[in-house]
Amino acid sequence: MTETYDTAIIGAGVIGAAVAYELSKRGYKTVNVDMLPEAGYGSTSNSCAIIRVHYSTLDGTAMAYAGYFYWKHWRDYLDTDDEAGIAKFHDIGCLIMKTEGNGHLKNVLAHVEALGIPHEHWDQQRILEALPVYNLQCFSPPKLLHDEGFGEPTGGEVRGGVFFPTAGYISDPKLSAHNLQRAAEARGGRFVFRKRVVEIPIDQGRVKGLVLDDGTRIDAPIVVNVAGPHSHKINALVGADKDMRITTCAVRQEVVHLPSPPEFNFGENGIVVSDNDIGVYCRPETGNNVLAGSEDPECDPRETVDPDDFSRDFTDQWTAQALRMAQRMPSMGIPSKMSGVVDLYDVTDDWIPIYDKSCIDGFYMACGSSGNQYKNAPVAGKLMASLIEYCGSGNDHDRNPLQFPLENVDHIFDAATVSRLRKINPDSSFSVLG
């Protein structure tokens, strides 16, 4: 059986679904193929889904700020009903602790000030007004359980932070992908689940479509790789990795769920916090819990795995993150039963994504996006749709990269910064912070 489309998209996570939505709005006949049973079922469903605007680069900051407005007005952006409901954006703000380790946010502040992004400088008193259960002693550098001095204060206190009101989180990231699926379908898009891509035919240097594991052939002159942690396997399958200077891999991550301190309802009154001093970020979680993830300090292992064969069991990393979080909230109880999530990030060498064409005509990639790009999904969808049209009009994107005007912020995004051909960006945090 053969089916014909304008564009075949590999993956139906939040970014794959956003690409479908943006292309379908432009009149493309799209199909998303995913090996899992539903949109957003993979790493998207286990995303911490934090919407924030602070990044280590100017283009990254601008992209994130542009994305905030789509989440804030999510229903309007979709312009489509969904029988499953509409994902809720908890618009609660984000506090970043100023530490020696992050240069007291000098670079972050330069970017947000250049873009006019609202922010407030909080002193200790203001932090404790918002988070009265917090202990602001310094514990840096972050450590692992068996490191000497783990859990012991190292002198001094965190003196302040920067609060961004344009931040928060999505409580059901999987639902947000489903919302985008329904929005794409309302404009003619199609989604195929429980099917693996086994071949990407090429004729005279150009992709011809996909072959699925049930024998179905999809004819399409454009293929977009948004396969998340499997993206490197898809690139290798078609030979798109031959000229890539930036590569991707699947990295295993653990996220901790902890009960809120008894005297403070973090679920209702908490905010998103990024804390370089303890190497942990956190946000409220359903059921008056605290979600705590690693900010990837030097001590934390980065385990590259096969996305088809990895352990979902918790390790000592869970305990280390839980106890580092408890350094800030000493009255927090650490449960005997571990709770949280183990899943994969799809990361690049510098933790900045690839949104690009490839050396194979018609084959595009939106890769290396896990961990810090969920929030950028609507913008990434628009960027990829514009890139496909730009290249389809005969432009040489490698020589003259797309200059993409962002909505909601006065900034032209230079797509060279997310090219597969770029050099490793030394300005990156080289972590989940992007």
| One domain for residues 311 and 414 | no
CATH code of 227's domain: 3.50.50.60
Is residue 339 included in any domain, yes or no? yes
The pLDDT of 78-104, averaged and rounded, is 97
Helix (H) or strand (E) holding 257: strand 248-259
The pLDDT of 154-178, averaged and rounded, is 97
Task: Examine the pLDDT at 412 and tell me if it is beyond 90.
Answer: yes
Is residue 433 included in any domain, yes or no? no
| One domain for residues 37 and 134 | no
Q: Specify the number of domains making up the chain.
A: 2
The answer to whether 176 and 84 are in contact (CB under 8 A) is no
| One domain for residues 244 and 191 | yes
pLDDT tens digits, one per residue of 327-386: 999 999 999 899 999 999 999 999 999 999 999 999 999 999 877 899 999 999 999 999
User: pTM for this structure?
Assistant: 0.97
| One domain for residues 179 and 322 | no
Boundary of a domain, candidates 324, 347, 370: 347
Is residue 431 included in any domain, yes or no? no
CATH code of 281's domain: 3.30.9.10
Q: Residue 264 has what pLDDT?
A: 97
| One domain for residues 306 and 256 | yes
Boundary of a domain, candidates 347, 363, 381: 347
| One domain for residues 187 and 281 | no
The answer to whether 62 and 406 are in contact (CB under 8 A) is yes
3-state secondary structure of 146: coil
| One domain for residues 259 and 342 | yes
Alpha-carbon gap, residue 127 to 136, rounded angstroms: 9
Is residue 329 included in any domain, yes or no? yes
| One domain for residues 282 and 184 | no
| One domain for residues 235 and 220 | yes
Alpha-carbon gap, residue 250 to 302, rounded angstroms: 10
Is residue 234 included in any domain, yes or no? yes
Is residue 424 included in any domain, yes or no? no
The pLDDT of 223-243, averaged and rounded, is 97
| One domain for residues 54 and 135 | no
| One domain for residues 336 and 411 | no
Task: Examine the pLDDT at 430 and tell me if it is beyond 90.
Answer: no
Written as six digits, the tokens of 189 are: 């898009």
| One domain for residues 124 and 218 | no
Is residue 209 included in any domain, yes or no? yes
Q: Residue 431 has what pLDDT?
A: 83
Boundary of a domain, candidates 306, 325, 347: 347
Alpha-carbon gap, residue 195 to 268, rounded angstroms: 40
Distance set, CA 127 to CA 97, 101, 161 (Å): 9, 19, 8
pLDDT tens digits, one per residue of 40-63: 999 999 999 999 999 999 999 999
Q: Residue 1: pLDDT band by 50, 70, 90 thresholds?
A: confident
Is residue 97 included in any domain, yes or no? yes
Q: Which residue range is the domain that position 158 belongs to?
A: 91-168+249-347
